Structure 1
Amino acid sequence: MNTKFFHARQARREAPARDPQETRCPEAGRPQDEPPHPGAQVGVHGKGVFALQDIPEGETLIEYVGEIITWKEAQRRHPWNPEDPNHTFYFHVDDGRVIDAAVGGNAARWINHSCNPNCEADEEEGRVFIKSLRTIKAGEELNYDYGLIIDERYTKALKAEYPCWCGSKNCRGTLLAPKRRR
């Protein structure tokens, strides 16, 4: 994979990555505490990932990596921040495992949500890869639909706990996945 984007915005694998240095982000190996690439601050999100050159549809961009932990451990670790209590760098892999990108994560953790995404998260054999859904132009921010799933009933208050500020025409107003009608 060639470097095609830079990031500004937390996962160590049980299975080895195809090549941990092989990413479309030159800063993927940057220590987490260093400041992000200059100019990569974005509106309400604070940080993001942007295309450095045009990226074709269907391109695998980066693996979402981090420490693989259980749901029980994820709940124990949950970083309760009163200013942003639902923010994590967790990525659900299956019923028993979560990727915690706060530990060993790369640039993928800074890809923001959009209700009209240009990328998708594709799970393959317990690994998560970010892929382009369409051609992405140089300078465009990369994003995918987080589609958070919560078992409880979606109330106005619950949706407000997971607000979306993507600004797309079809914005749902929440990071929660639409409930399937029965």
Structure 2
Amino acid sequence: MKPQTAPPTPRRTRSTSSAKRTAAGADTRRIQVRRSGVHGKGVFALKPIAAGETLIEYVGELITWKEALRRHPHDPSDPNHTFYFHIDDGHVIDALYGGNASRWINHSCDPNCEADEVEGRVFIKALRRIRAGEELNYNYGLVLDGPITAKERAEYPCWCGAAQCRGTMLSASVKAPSRKRTKKA
């Protein structure tokens, strides 16, 4: 599954640290999209990546939640799969339109990357050293508005295979995660 497996009710993706502004495109000498053993396509490191490196910006069409709800689902046969990334209460990035390789980064309960929002832009950053050939992933931290039921957990399955896998891409917390945002100095 991809970032912000969104509507019908707003969900939020966790943003966890500060990042520097960098280019939106992927450095094709460092990362590559290919088939993933986790789910569909994935993004893989071609070279070792240092902890703290900003790898790619999550880009796409900036739309309102109202428009996201209108577009949902992207694929009726897989209604909980979208390329939405929640920015704030009113806006979503829809990477189906104008997106790049970042939309193929899969979820993991034990991620090697994190999503970081900087002034309304989202960057994917390495949490630790990543080996060449390793798949990039981050915790989508999806949040539902209200209590999470067993049925909802099953609607957002996780296939990451991590030792501490929660079995779902939903956040462990019912509350919306706190978000660190970086303001331009």
Alignment TM-score, normalising by the size of structure 1: 0.79
In structure 1, the residue matched to 2:28 is: 25
Q: Does 1:158 align with 2:152?
A: yes
How far residue 27 of structure 1 moved from its aligned partner, in angstroms, is 10
Q: Does 1:125 align with 2:128?
A: no
Q: Does 1:175 align with 2:178?
A: no
Unaligned stretches of 5+ in structure 2? Answer: 4-20, 176-185
Q: Distance in 1 between matches of 2:86 and 2:166?
A: 21
2:41 aligns to what SS in structure 1? Answer: coil
Report sequence identity in percent.
Answer: 64
Q: Distance in 2 between matches of 1:177 and 1:100?
A: 21
Q: Distance in 2 between matches of 1:115 and 1:163?
A: 11
Letter in 2 for 1:47: K
Q: Does 1:70 align with 2:56?
A: no
In structure 2, the residue matched to 1:4 is: none
- Computing the radius of gyration from Cα coordinates, the structure with the larger value is 1
Q: Write the deviation string for residues 45-83 of structure 1: whole angstroms up to 9, x where unpaired.
A: 111000000000000000000000000000000125343
Q: Does 1:45 align with 2:48?
A: no
Letter in 2 for 1:155: T
In structure 2, the residue matched to 1:57 is: 51
Q: Distance in 1 between matches of 2:45 and 2:157?
A: 25
Counterpart selection for 1:109 from 98, 103, 111: 103
In structure 1, the residue matched to 2:7 is: none
Q: Distance in 2 between matches of 1:18 and 1:165?
A: 30
1:139 aligns to what SS in structure 2? Answer: coil
The question of whether the paired residues in 2 share the 8 Å contact of 1:120 and 1:133 is answered with yes
The question of whether the paired residues in 1 share the 8 Å contact of 2:57 and 2:124 is answered with yes
1:131 aligns to what SS in structure 2? Answer: strand
Alignment TM-score, normalising by the size of structure 2: 0.78
How far residue 43 of structure 1 moved from its aligned partner, in angstroms, is 2.3
Structure 2 CA distance for partners of 1:163 and 1:20, relative to 1, 3 Å:
closer
How far residue 42 of structure 1 moved from its aligned partner, in angstroms, is 1.6
2:132 aligns to what SS in structure 1? Answer: coil
In structure 1, the residue matched to 2:6 is: none
Q: CA RMSD in A?
A: 2.3
Count of aligned positions? 157
Q: Distance in 2 between matches of 1:67 and 1:27?
A: 25
Letter in 2 for 1:134: R
Counterpart selection for 2:143 from 139, 143, 149: 149
